[in-house]
Amino acid sequence: MVKIVRKRELNATVTLLEVEAPLIARKAKAGQFIILRVDEYGERMPLTIADTDPARGTVTIIFQKVGLTTELLGDLKEGESIRDFVGPLGLPTELPEGTKRVCVVGGGVGCAIAYPQAKSCHAAGLSVDVIAGFRSKDIVILEEEFKACCDNLYITTDDGSYMEKGFVTDKLKALIEAGNQYDVVIAIGPVPMMKFVCKTTEPYGIKTIVSLNPIMIDGTGMCGGCRVTVGGKMKFACVDGPDFDGHQVDFDELMSRNAVYKSEEAEEAARHACRMEQLAEELIH
């Protein structure tokens, strides 16, 4: 079990938890993830490590409350514990030798994963630009954290309610065409966003790394649930990734596989809500 030492609500649906996990904190690198279970009856859920503090022995995770497990995780309070917390898993991000300038592109809650990438590149002495995209101003997260670990931060909103109106791909294309010569682009966010970032960079021959989020269970490559097609070959995101060459990823297949259990997830969330309402009614009476 790991104890929650800090909880912060980043917006209405996104939560940050800092937990005591000294062994993971000492070993984890940018790009790696953990798998947790909220309690002994819970499902195994992967989350990318958003930050670590080896001196304090803590690991930070950031998640969006979109399903039953994330809702239960979000209900936990400081001082309470998460039942299982295993990692670091996956391969850390590797940049090509000679990389000097990087553009990190994050979309929505994917910015929680983009942040450690930008922080790691900045700490390595690279020139780092960050493009962070959100639907609107009210869901912007980690703005100050990004400012501290990049040379230039560009925030876009779909509706124009904050900073620049438009999509991250619009800003990325504009920066490239303005003469910014990036050695690598790192794109992390919704699968369609990563797909179109890769389509944006491909004509310019810019290496593009994406962090994939397929269905995952054991995190060891045994179950095969996280298989993805990269360069026409089957890969397992938990052990071969989660980072891959975005120009080689079959994004359409990934989107199709990620949608397989949508109806079952919705039904389980509804059953849980009904049980909670029934319990509340019993307590009242």
pLDDT at 262: 60
Per-position DSSP letters for 25-59, written without gaps between them: HHH--TT-EEEEESSTTSPPEEEEEEEEETTTTEE
pLDDT at 83: 95
Distance CA 172, CA 109 (A): 19
pLDDT at 176: 97
Low-confidence spans in the chain with pLDDT less than 70: 260-285
pLDDT at 182: 97
pLDDT at 253: 93
b/e string for 23-34 if b means 16 or more Cβ within 10 A? ebbeebebbbbb
DSSP state at residue 83: S
pLDDT at 214: 85
pLDDT at 85: 95
- Residue pLDDT, tens place only, 188-200: 999 999 999 999 9
pLDDT at 158: 95
pLDDT at 281: 65
Which domains, ranges and CATH numbers included, belong to the chain? 2-89 (2.40.30.10), 101-211 (3.40.50.80)
Helix residue ranges per DSSP H, 83-164: 111-123, 143-147
